[in-house]
Amino acid sequence: MKRQKTLALAAMASFAVVGCTRAQDDPAFGAKVRAYLLAHPEVIAEAAQKLQDQRDAASAAKTKLALEHNRQALERDPRDFVANPGGKVTVTEFYDYRCPHCINAAPAVVKLIHDNPDVRFVFKEMPIFGAVSEHAARTAIAVKNAGGDYLGLYQTLMNTRGLDDAAIDKIGRAAGVDPAKTGQSQARTAADAQLTDVRKLANALDIEGTPTFIIGDTTVPGEDMDAVRAAIAKARQGAKAS
């Protein structure tokens, strides 16, 4: 039976490559392939799964290569805020302050940072919900550049429901940032350049939404903090082995 399935898969491949021509030139061949597939439809499922596995493997290899090429920008951009900078395991999060899933994940992110001093956590501002989100990101960048309490600002912005421009300015002032100066051309140009670079990096890594966490070669989309913790544990084991 295994040999029959192998032959059928080979026949399917041949039929897929030169299907019309072969069937026209050799109707008997096409009829045999069709009859076998009708009698053994599970072979089609096996072939489809094999094709999907090949595509998944190719996608994983492409992502790993992209991560290797962009590791410096991902983990070592001096413009980013980094919690636990001396940590041995690096986690990078791409997020938006108005993203519901980012908001849901934020308390777990803060707890992770506080409970795991060996985890170096990189914050990537990636506003995807329009001008208000960009305003929040620029304010956060200004607080970071001023040496303010970035992590506190992160928590406040994530905890503020109905976040709008007025609320962002109020939060920024409390963190020691003058909204008028944040909006000045030089500061805004530098912040916008940083946000543009983050978007380019996200595109290079095929990141389509927020939040997205990257730990080593593992990408965790969404608010799956269990998967983030599992990836951290795996990275720790790798660090010990090396």
Element (H, E) at 154: helix 150-159
CA atoms within 13 A on the CB side of 40: 15
| pLDDT the model gives residue 157 | 98
| pLDDT the model gives residue 149 | 97
Q: What single letter denotes the amino acid at residue 183?
A: G
Nearest to 99 by CA among 73, 131, 133: 133
The structure's pTM equals: 0.76
pLDDT string in tens for the chain (242-residue length): 544 555 455 555 544 444 455 545 677 877 888 888 888 888 787 877 777 767 666 666 667 788 999 999 999 999 999 999 999 999 999 999 999 999 999 999 999 999 999 999 999 999 999 999 999 999 999 999 999 999 999 999 999 999 999 999 999 999 999 988 877 778 889 999 999 999 999 999 999 999 999 999 999 999 999 999 999 999 999 877 76
| pLDDT the model gives residue 7 | 47
Dihedral (Cα; 191, 192, 195, 196), 10-degree rounding: -140
Sign (positive or negative) of CA dihedral 107, 172, 170, 125:
negative
Domains of the chain: 2-61 (no CATH), 72-241 (3.40.30.10)
